[in-house]
Structure 1
Amino acid sequence: TILIVTDLDEKLPALSEAAFDSYIDQCEERCLPGTRTDVLRQIKDWAFSPQERCVFWLNGMAGTGKSTISRTVAEFFSEAKGKADRGNAKRLFPTIARQLTITIPQLLPHIYQAVLDNLDITEKGLQDQFNKLLLQPLLSLGKSDLPLCTAVIVIDALDECEKDEDIRLILQILPQLQKLDTIQIRVFLTSRPELPIHLGFSKLTIQDHKDLILHEIPEEVIKHDISLFFHHRLSEIKDVSLLPDDWPGEKDLNELVVLSIPLFIFAATVCRLLEDPLWDPIESLAEILDHRHDQSSMDRTYLPVLERLLTGWNKTRDETKKTQFVQEFQQVVGSIVILEDPLSVISLSKLLNLQERLIAFKLRPLHSVLRVPSDENLPVRLFHLSFRDFLLNPDTRDKSPFAVDEKAAHYKLAIQCLSMCQNLRKNICQLSSDGARRTEIDPLTIGRFIPPELRYSCRYWIHHLVKCDRLHDALRQSLLFLQGHFLHWVEAMSLLGFASELVGMLGLLQKLISSHHYAELSDFLHDAKRFVQKNSRIADHAPLQLYCSGLIFSPHKSIIRRQFLSEFPNWICQLPQVEEAWSSELQSLEGHSDWINSVVFSPDGALLASGSNDKTIRLWNTATGVLQHTLEGHSDWIKSVAFSPDGALLASGSDDQTIRLWDMSTGGALQKVLEGHSELVDSVAFTPDGMLLVSGSKDGIVKIWDTTTGILQQNLEGHSDWILSVAFSFDGTLLASGARDNTIKIWDTATGALQQTLKGHSDLITSVAFSPNNNAILASSSYDHSIRLWNPLTGVLQQTLEGHPDPILSIAFSPNGVLLASSFRDNTIRLWDTATGALQNIFEGHSSCVGSVTFSPDGALLASGSDDQTIRVWDTLTGALQHPEGRLGSIMCMVFSPDRSMLASGSEDTTVQLWNTATGKLQYTFKDNLDWTYLVVFSPNNALLASSSQDRGILLRETTTGTLQQTFGYSEPSISMVFSPYSVLLASCYRDGTIQLWNTSTGILQQSFEGHSKEINSIVFSTDGVLLASGSSDNTIRLWNTKTGVLQHVFKGHLNIVVSVALSADSILLASGSYDKTVRLWNTATGALQHVFEDHSRLIESVALSADNALLASGTYDKTIRIWETATGTLQKTFDVTLPVTYLRFDQDRSYLMTNLGSLPINSACENHASSPNNRSPKILLEEQWITLNGEISLWLPPGSRPSRATASSNFLALGHPSGRVSILGFRV
C-alpha cells in the first residue's frame, strides 16, 4: 500500500494546499461557535438527507464570508476541500480523487489502476478525469467496502477558475455523482454570483442542486453573527495588548458592527489591523471609525490600513522619501495583487530584482490584508480578493496615493518576466538524452532548474504584456526575447506541462499586434505558431525533441529554423530534404488506434469530433489539438459522428447497429441509445433545428428519430442496398440518401414521400451533401471516380467532376458553398470551385486513404480523418495548388549502394531515382517505365543499377552517368534480382518458374534455369558466385551450379510457398523461410534437412546466417525478427519492429543484426560496443515513431515524415514515403 501511495503521488499530482488541514490552511479562520448557525444547520441537513440534491451552491458577494463557511464545513466533515487552482481546473478532479483515497482507503487500488491505465489522465478533459478518477472507482465499490455512508466534497471559490467553459463543465459534471447508490456524495460549492456560474446552474434541474445566497440572509441574523465575532476577537486583542477593561466600549463596538454589515471581510480586516503589533490598537480603532461616513464598504475596510502606512512620513514631511516609499509599495504590492499565481518573498525578490529584506519590510505593516508566512519559501497571498479590487479601482486614485495603475503594473511585471526568462537555455534541466520523456523526469529536478519565479515568468509574461500600457516598447522587447530564447521558452513550458497553452498564448500576441503594424514580430509569431502547432505534442512528451525533430523537419524558410541553426543536434550530419515553406497542414492529431471513419467540427468550431474503428469517439480542442474527451460505449466500429446545430448533442452511428446521443454540456455523458436498425449504421445527420436525427444503415432503411424523446418517427424504404450516406438540406425540408445501389434518393422530410431518384453514377455512392445555402444544389461522390452536382428539386444533373485518380470516399461543402472538398483512396484531399468545377488545391500528408472531410464553421479550416489513424487539420485559405502531374507515386523499393555513396528508389508512378547520400541531393530521375518499378538493385562494385518493371523487363544503368547500358527483356516482370559477387552476372527470376543469368557487360543471356513449377520468390548467390539457390511457390528450394547450369539439389519439406532463401558464407548451409511459418536449415552438400524452426506466427519474409554459421535470423510478416542457434534450434532473441523486414545480415562478430530498419543488438555487450570511441559508425534503428542511435532514442518522426519503406546502411537511414518523397538522414557518433 505504501508503494501504491508513493507511486500515486507521483502519477497523480494534487494540490497540496487544497486539503482543509494543510499547512497553508491551518491559520485560516473558521466560523465562531454561535455564528452562522442557521446556514451551517441547513448545510448539515442537506448533507445527511438521502432525499436532498447532490450540489449545494453557497453564493455571495465578495467579503460575505463564503470561504470561512467552507472551511468550517470541511472541518466538520473532515472530507476533501479544495480551492480551485486559478487557471488550472484540470487539477480539480485529481486533487479530489487523491484526497478521497485518504478518507476512503478502499478507493486507493481502483484509482491507482485508473491512473496506470491512463497515464496521461491529468492532461485529459474534465469529463474523462471525473469518469475515470471518481465516478467509475466509486461505482466499483460495494456497500461493505465503505466505512461511511456520506462524503462531502467542498470546492471553494469556483469562480476563480479563469476559463468560463471549465466552470460550466464542472457544474454539469458534478451532479452525475447522484448515480451512486452505495455512498452518498455531496458537493458543497462557493462562489461569487458571477455570470458563468449562472450559465452553468441554469442547465441543472431543480433536483440537481440547492442554493443559498449569503447577502440575502436577514440583516438581523448577519448583525448577530458579526456582533459575536467582534466580541470574541476584540476580547482576545484586549488581553494580548493589555488594553483597559472597558475597551473598546459598547458604542464603538456597535458602530463597528453596523459598519461591517453585510461584509464579514470588513470585520476580519479590522481585527487583523487592531492586533498588528506595529500599531497602537486604540489609535487604529479611532482612525477606522473616522472613515465611518465613507460611502464604499471597501473604502471603510482598506483606507485605514493604507493611511497608517503614511503616518511616519506625514510627520517628517519628507516628500521625496514619501514618494519613494509609495513607489516601492506599488512595485511590491502592486505586483502581488496582479500576479496570476502567488509567489514567495524569495521568488518575488528575484522576479522584481529587489532585496528580500526590502520586500519583507514593505509587507510587514500589511499583515491585516496580506497573508505573509514566516517561512519565506511559502507564497504571499491576499486575505481577500477585494483588496486587489480596491487597489486597482481607478476611483481609489482620488482617495489614496497607494492606488495601483493596473496597466503600468502589468507593463513592469511583463518586463520583469522577460528579464527573468533571459535565464532560459537549451536543456535547462541537464537531461542526459534528447529523447528523455517529460513524465519520467523527477519533478524536483524540474523545480530545481526552473524555480517558481522563472516558472511564473514563462507562463505569464504574455498575460501581463497584453494588459499593459507602453505596448510598442513591450512588443519590441518581446521580439528580442523570442529571437534569442523562443525554443528555450517552449522547452521550459513543455517541461512544466504547459505545452498545450502555447498556441493560445501566441494567438493572444498575434491579436495584440494586428493593430500595431509590427511586421517583423508578426512574421515571427506566425512562424512560431506554426512551429508550435506541429511540435507541441512531442514537446509535451519529450521536450528536447524541439531542437531535434522540431528543427530538423521544419521548412527551409522557417524563421525558427533559421534563427536557431546553432541549436541543431551535433549527432546529425545529413539533414533530410524538407519543404521550402509551411504547407497547408496545421496539425496532425494522434490518439486513435484504428481507422478514423468520420470527423466533424462543433457548431462553434471549438471542438473536433472523430469516430473510429477503435470503438471510441474523441473530442479535440481545435485551437490546441489537445484531446479533451474520449467517449466510450459502442461495442463495434463507429462509422459516423454529427453535432446538433446548437452543439448540445453529438450523435454517433456504429456497426453495433445503434445510434448514441451524447450530452456535450457534460463533456459527453451518454444521453440516449437509439435502437431499431437490423444492420450496421453508416451515417447520421441532424436537421437544421436539431429536432430530428436521420440514420442510414446497411439494412437499406433510412430512419428518422425525435432527438428529444428518442422515438422513431419514420422509416423510409426504397433503396435496394446498403445506405452509406444521409444529409438534410439547409432548411431541413429535404433529405438525401446515397446507397450501394448506385442511386441517390430525395425525400420530403415532413411526409417521408420520395421526391426524386437520381441515377447516373456507375458505382456505389459514398457521400451526399447539400449546399449549405441552396436547396437546389446537391453533391454526390462515388466509387466511379466522379463527383456529380444535381438539382435535387428537378433531378437534373448539373455538372460532373471527373478525372479523379481513385474512388472518392467523402465530400463536404464549405460553409459559404463556394468550395467542395473531396477525399480519395490515394491519400489526398482536393478542393474544388463549385461554380466552375476548377481544382483549387490538393492537400497531401496522409499515409493511407482519407475516409472523411469536414469544414470548420468559418471555412478557414478543413479536417480529414484517415485509415492512417490520424486526423489532419488544414488551412484552406493559404497554399498554392500543386498540380497532380507533379506528384510522385508511393515508394515501392529502396536500396543503398554497397559503398553507401548512393541510394536508389523506385515508385509506383514508374519513376526510378538515384540520390547522393552525402548531400541528400537527387542525382538522376529515370522515367523509362510505363508501370510500377518493383525492384532496384546495385551491383557489388557500385557501378551498375538494375531496375525491374512490369512493362520494360530489367533496365541496367551506369550509376556515375545514369546512362542506360542494357535492357534485359522478358514477357513478365522480374520478381527478384541479384548480382553475382563480382558484378559479372545478374540473375533474375519470374512467375513462370524461370531463372535467367545475364552478362552485365554484353547483355547476353548466359544461362536459363527451368525446373520450378511456379513463380520464384527469392534467389541468392554463394559468396564465390558458383552456386545459386532459389525458393519457389512450388514449396521447394533448388540449388544450381552457375558454371554448368546443373541442378545440384531439390530441397523438399515446406508445406507452403517458399519466400526467402540464404546461403552461408562457406556455402555449406542453406536457410529457407516459408508461408508455412517455419524456417528450415539444409545441408547443401547432402541435401539433408538439419533443423526446423517453428516459433513464428506468420509467413517468413527474410532469413540470414551468421558468418560462422552459429546463428540464424528470420524476419516475418508479423513484424518480428527472431535469432536462433543453428546447432540446437534454440530461440535466442525476439525483436518487434514497425515495418516489413526485407533485408537481414549479421555483422562479422555477431554483435549486431543489420536490417533495412537499422542495427539490432544481439547481446547486452553490444550496447557498450556501440558507444565505444573506436566505433565511428552509430548503430541506427527505426522503432515505431523513433530513430534510436546506439540504443538511445534520439529522433522523433512526425506523422508526415514517417515512412512506408525504410532502409539503413552504416550511418545512413533512408525513408520512403507514400507521397513519393525520399528522406535521407546521416548520423555521427
Structure 2
Amino acid sequence: MVTNASYSGVNSGIQVAQNYGPINANLSQPETLLDQACLRDLRTTSPRDDKERIKKTNGGLLKESYRWILENAAFKNWRNNQSNRLLWVRGDPGKGKTMLLCGIIEELMLLHEDTATVSFFFCQATDMRINSATSVLRGLIFSLVEKYPSLLRHVRVRYDSAGKDLFEDVNAWSALISIFTQILEDSSLESTFFVIDALDECRDGLQDLLDLIVENSTAQKTRWMVSSRNEYEITECLDSATQVAPVSLELNQASVSEAVNAFIRHKVDSLAKKKRYDERITAIVKHHLLSNSQDTFLWVALVWKNLDQTPRWVDVTKKLKTFPPGLDALYRQMINQVRDSVYTELCKRILGTMTAVFRPVTLCELKALLEGQNDGFYDLQTLFDMIGVCGSFLTLRENTVTFVHQSAKDFLLKKASNEIFFRGIEAEHHAIFVRSLQIMRKTLRRDICGLKSPGFPIEQVRHQDLDPLATTRYSCVYWVDHLRDSQSNEDPDPDIFGPVDLFLQQNYLYWLEALSLLQSLSEGIAAMLRLDLLLQVSSHCDFKDLPY
C-alpha cells in the first residue's frame, strides 16, 4: 500500500511511504533479529541495572540494614510457601523500603538460584518511563523472557503483527495481561518470585496493577512481594486480599530502629576515616544522628551527604545544629539555605525545571532547557556547581540529574511551591514547552547525524552517532506533554498554537527523523494524538490546515 501526505513550508512536497505490512517484512529477517527487535521494544528499562543504580546512589547495600526482615515470621512463611503468597512491606517515606527490597531480592536470588526465578521492578514516579502499570508489566515480562528465551514466543505471537505498538497503544494493558497469563501457564516456567517496589509511585493504572497482583497472588507457582507507602487506595485493596501478609515498618519499629542505627554507625565510621575526625568528634556526630534520625534512613543519608561535602576546617559541632530532626524539617532548612544563597534565582529555576520534567534529564538537556531563562546561567560547570547547592534535593550520577527521593519532589510540590514556582506549575510547563520548540527549531535538520543513507538500519546506529541530538532528545519526546500541562482545562490559551503551527510546517519531517533515530516514533504518534485533543479543546483555534 502506498500512502501520500503533503506538507508546506521548508518540508514542502509529497512524501511517499510504502508499507507492505509487518508480516511480509518479517519473512525476510532471520528469527534471531526478530527476537532481538521484540526484546528491545518490550524493554522500558533494565530492572537489574535499576537495582545497581539504586544501590550506588544510596552508598551501597549494607546487610545489617535489612537482615532483620530475613528473620521476620511473616517473611519466612512467605518465602517458604507455607501460607501467605503475597507479602506487603508498608511504611512512611524514607524508611528504607527500596533498599530493603534490594536486599531481599539478592537474598532470594542467592537462596533460590536453582529452584526459582526472581522477577522484579522498581517504580519511580519522577520518570514517566517507569511509573505506569504497563511499564511494570513490561518489566516483569522482560525479566522472564530474558532468563527463559523460549517464553518469548508468547510475546512474538502478537508482536509480529503489531510491532512496538503492542506495548504502547490504548490496548497495551489488555495485550500484556494476555501475554503474562500465557507465560504463567507455560509448563517450562519454574516457581517465580515477583517483587515490585513503590506501588505508590505508579502514577498511571495503579488500580489495574493492584488487581493483577491480587488476582495472581493465589497462583501456585508464584509468590508476590510489594512495597508502598501507607496510602488509602493501596491499603484498601491489599487489606481485602486473601493470603496477604503485611509487614508494617512502623509496627516493626525496634527492628527498623536497630537497622537505622547500624546504618548510622557504618556511615559515621566511613566519614570519620575520610575527614580524620578524632574520637570526640566522631562520638558527637554519631550521637546527633542516633538522637535525631527518627528511624529514617533518608534523613541519615542526607545529613551524611551534607557532612561529606563540608570542608574539614568547618566546626562540625556547629554544623550539626543546622540539621533539624525529621525529613520535612530538613527539607525546609535546605529550602531556606537555597533562598539565602547568592545563587537563589538560578537554584530555584533548576528545582522548578526538575520538578516539572517527566523523566530524569542529562546535564546537557537541563542546560538547554535553562538557557535563555536566567541571565546568571553560563556553562555546564556552573550548572554542576548549582546542583551541588541543591544537593539535598537533587543528585547527579552518570551525567543524569534526578531527585534524591520521591519525598523531595513531593515536598517541593506540596509545601514549597510558592517559593519554587514564580507563577505556578503551569507557567513552568509553559516555559519548558516554549524552550523545547526553540531547541528543536535551532537543532533539528535533515540527516542530523550525518548517516548519508535514508535506509540506514537503526540497529547499526552507534551511540556516538546520536551526539547531535544530545541536547534535544528530551524536548523531541515531551514537548507536547509540557504544552498540555501548561494549559488550564477551564480556559486554554488559543494563542499558544501559533508557534506549534510554525514548527510543524517548518520542522515536522526533521522531528520525525529525530524520533526515528531516538527509537521514539511511537511516542511521537501518541504526542500527535494528544495535540489533536488539545486543538479540539481550543474552540478558537483553526487546526484543519495543520500538516499532520
CA distance in 1, matches of 2:317, 2:492: 44
C-alpha spacing 1:445/1:291, structure 2 compared with 1 (3 Å): closer
SS at match of 1:523: coil
Shift of 1:302: 2.7
If each structure's helix is expressed as a fraction of its own residues, which one has the higher value? Answer: 2
Distance in structure 1 (CA, Å) of the matches to 2:159 and 2:484: 37
Q: How far apart in 1 are the matches of 2:217 and 2:152?
A: 21
Question: 8 Å contact 2:440–2:475 — kept in the other structure?
Answer: yes
* Aligned counterpart in structure 2 of residue 187 of structure 1, from 199, 221, 224: 224
Structure 2 counterpart of 1:232, one-letter code = H
Structure 1 residues 390 and 428 mapped into 2: Cα distance closer, same or farther (>3 Å)?
farther
Q: Which string of whole-angstrom CA distances, capped at 9 and with x for unpartnered residues, describes residues 443-475 of structure 1?
A: 958993993653432443344445559999994
Equivalent residue number for residue 158 of structure 1 = 199
Residue of structure 2 aligned with 1:70, choices 101, 126, 138: 101
Following TM superposition, by how much is the alpha carbon of 1:14 offset from its aligned partner in structure 2, in angstroms?
A: 3.5
Matched residue SS, 2:273: helix
What is the TM-score of this pair, normalised by structure 2?
Answer: 0.74
Equivalent of residue 382 in structure 1, options 380, 393, 403: 403
Which one of the candidate residues 202, 212, 224 is aligned to 2:247? 212
- C-alpha spacing 1:372/1:421, structure 2 compared with 1 (3 Å): same
Deviations 1:496-543 (A, max 9, x none): 3122354345435655x5xxxxx6xx333xx3xxxxxxxxxxxxxxxx
Whether 2:280 is the aligned partner of 1:256: answer no
SS across alignment from 2:65: coil
Q: Aligned match of 1:45 in 76, 81, 84? A: 76
1:358 and 1:160 mapped to 2: Cα distance? Answer: 32
Query: Which of residues 170, 174, 187 is equivalent to 2:209?
Result: 170
3-state SS of 1:190 partner: strand
1:241 to partner: Cα distance: 1.0
2:368/2:471 contact within 8 Å kept: yes
Structure 2 residue corresponding to 1:61, chosen from 92, 109, 123? 92
Does residue 503 of structure 1 match 2:521? no
1:229 matched residue in structure 2:
263
- The separation in 2 between residues aligned to 1:38 and 1:23, in whole angstroms, is 23
User: Is 1:9 matched with 2:39?
Assistant: yes
Tell me the secondary structure at the aligned position of residue 282 of structure 2.
coil
SS in 1 for 2:230: coil
- For the 8 Å contact 2:365–2:470, the answer to whether it is kept is yes
Q: How does 1:490-529 map to 2 (within 5 A)?
A: 492=512, 495-498=520-523, 499-507=525-533, 511=537, 522-524=540-542, 527=543
Describe the shift of the 1:386–1:91 C-alpha distance in structure 2 as closer, same or farther (beyond 3 A): closer
Shift of 1:82: 1.9
Does residue 1:32 correspond to 2:51, yes or no? no
For residue 361 of structure 2, give the secondary structure of its aligned residue in structure 1. coil
Q: 2:175 aligns with which of 116, 128, 131?
A: 128
SS of the equivalent of 1:205 reads: coil
Q: 1:1013-1092 counterparts in 2 under 5 A?
A: none
Q: How does 1:824-1223 map to 2 (within 5 A)?
A: none
Deviation at 1:239, TM superposition (A): 0.5
- SS of structure 2 residue aligned to 1:153: strand
Which of 122, 134, 137 is equivalent to 1:83?
A: 122
Amino acid at match of 1:75: E
Is the CA contact 1:287–1:304 (under 8 Å) kept in the aligned structure 2? no
- SS of corresponding position for 1:372: strand
The residue that corresponds to 2:412 in the other structure is 391
Report the counterpart of residue 9 of structure 2 in structure 1: none
Where relative contact order (Cα < 8 A, 6+ residues apart) is larger, the structure is 2
Instruction: Name 1:361's counterpart in structure 2.
Output: 385
User: What is the CA distance between 1:345 and its match in structure 2?
Assistant: 0.4
Contact 2:432 2:482 in 1 (8 A): yes
> Percent sequence identity over matched residues?
17
Give the C-alpha shift of residue 76 in structure 1: 2.0
Q: Distance in 1 between matches of 2:236 and 2:531?
A: 26
Q: How many residues align?
A: 484
2:200–2:229 CA contact under 8 A, matched in 1: yes
For the residues of structure 2 that align with 1:233 and 1:76, how far apart are their CA atoms? Answer: 23
Match of 1:1164 in 2: none
Listed one character per residue, the Cα deviations across residues 708-758 of structure 1 (whole Å, up to 9, x for unaligned) are xxxxxxxxxxxxxxxxxxxxxxxxxxxxxxxxxxxxxxxxxxxxxxxxxxx
Structure 2: distance between partners of 1:497 and 1:211: 39
Query: TM-score, normalising length from structure 1?
Result: 0.35
Q: 1:429 to 1:97 in 2, by over 3 A?
A: farther
CA-CA distance at 1:44 after TM superposition: 4.2
Deviation at 1:271, TM superposition (A): 1.2
Whichever residue aligns with residue 156 of structure 1, its letter is D
Report the 3-state secondary structure (helix = DSSP H, G, I; strand = E; otherwise coil) of the residue aligned with 2:193: strand
CA contact (8 A) 1:223 1:257 kept: no
Q: Which one has the bigger strand percentage? A: 1
- For 2:331, the aligned partner's letter is Y
Pair 210,406 (structure 1): closer, same or farther in 2 beyond 3 Å: farther
Deviation for aligned residue 1:300: 3.1
- Which residue of 226, 235, 242 maps to 2:276? 242
Unaligned residue ranges in structure 2 (runs of 5+): 1-30, 110-117, 124-128, 372-377
Residues 370 and 380, structure 1, Cα contact 8 Å, conserved in 2: yes
Name the residue aligned to 1:782.
Answer: none
Q: Which residue of 1 aligns with 2:359?
A: 341
Tell me how far 1:243 sits from its aligned partner. 1.0
Offset from partner CA, 1:849-898 (integer Å, 9 cap, x none)? xxxxxxxxxxxxxxxxxxxxxxxxxxxxxxxxxxxxxxxxxxxxxxxxxx
Q: Could you tell me whether the CA contact under 8 Å between 1:169 and 1:200 is conserved in 2? A: no
In structure 1, the partner of 2:394 is 370
Q: Which residue does the alignment assign to 2:142?
A: 98
Map Cα deviations across residues 1070-1095 of structure 1 (whole Å, 9 max, x no partner): xxxxxxxxxxxxxxxxxxxxxxxxxx
CA–CA distance in structure 2, aligned partners of residues 193 and 509 of structure 1 = 39
Structure 1 residues 392 and 8 mapped into 2: Cα distance closer, same or farther (>3 Å)?
A: closer
Alignment equivalent of 1:481, drawn from 499, 506, 511: 499
For residues 69 and 361 of structure 2, the distance between their equivalents in structure 1, rounded to whole angstroms, comes to: 34
Structure 2 residue 542 is the aligned partner of structure 1 residue 559: no
2:349 maps to which of 316, 319, 331: 331
Q: How far apart are 1:396 and its partner, in Å? A: 7.4
Superposition CA RMSD, Å: 4.2
Offset at residue 308 of structure 1 (A):
5.8
With over 3 angstroms needed to count, the CA separation of the structure-2 counterparts of 1:345 and 1:479, relative to structure 1, is: same
Contact preservation (8 Å) 2:65, 2:100: no
Aligned residue number for residue 414 of structure 1: 433
**In structure 1, how many angstroms separate the alpha carbons of the residues matched to 2:77 and 2:364?**
44
Between the aligned partners of 1:464 and 1:286, the Cα distance in structure 2 is 43
User: Separation in 2 of the partners of 1:365 and 1:310?
Assistant: 11
Amino acid at match of 2:388: R
Matches within 5 A, 1:536-575: 558-560=544-546, 564=547
CA–CA distance in structure 1, aligned partners of residues 313 and 151 of structure 2: 51
> How far apart are residue 159 of structure 1 and its match?
2.5
Q: Give how far 1:310 is off.
A: 7.8
Please tell me whether Structure 1 or Structure 2 has the larger radius of gyration of its CA atoms.
1
Deviation at residue 386 of structure 1 after TM alignment: 1.8
Q: String of CA shifts for 1:115-157, please: whole Å, max 9, x gaps.
A: 446644323422321331x331342224xx74xx4x3222222
**8 Å contact 1:466–1:509 — kept in the other structure?**
no
Q: For structure 1, which runs of at least 5 residues remain unmatched after alignment?
A: 314-321, 514-518, 528-557, 568-1229
Contact kept in structure 2, 1:351 and 1:417, CA below 8 Å: yes
Equivalent pair of 1:20/1:80 in contact (CA under 8 Å): no
Amino acid at match of 1:223: S
Q: Could you say which residue in structure 2 is the equivalent of 1:966?
A: none
2:43 aligns to what SS in structure 1?
coil
Q: CA-to-partner distance for each residue in 1:1170-1225, whole Å, 9 max, x for gaps?
A: xxxxxxxxxxxxxxxxxxxxxxxxxxxxxxxxxxxxxxxxxxxxxxxxxxxxxxxx
Tell me: CA distance 1:402–1:110, structure 2 relative to 1, closer, same or farther (3 Å): closer
Structure 2 residue identity aligned to 1:362? M
Q: Which amino acid aligns with 1:90?
A: T
Quote how far apart the aligned CAs of 1:19 are: 3.9
The structural deviation recorded for 1:106 is 5.4
AA aligned to 1:301 is L
CA distance in 1 between counterparts of 2:443 and 2:467 reads 10
Give 1:281 deviation, angstroms. 8.5
Equivalent residues of 1:429, 1:449 under 8 A apart = no
Shift in Å, 1:72: 1.6
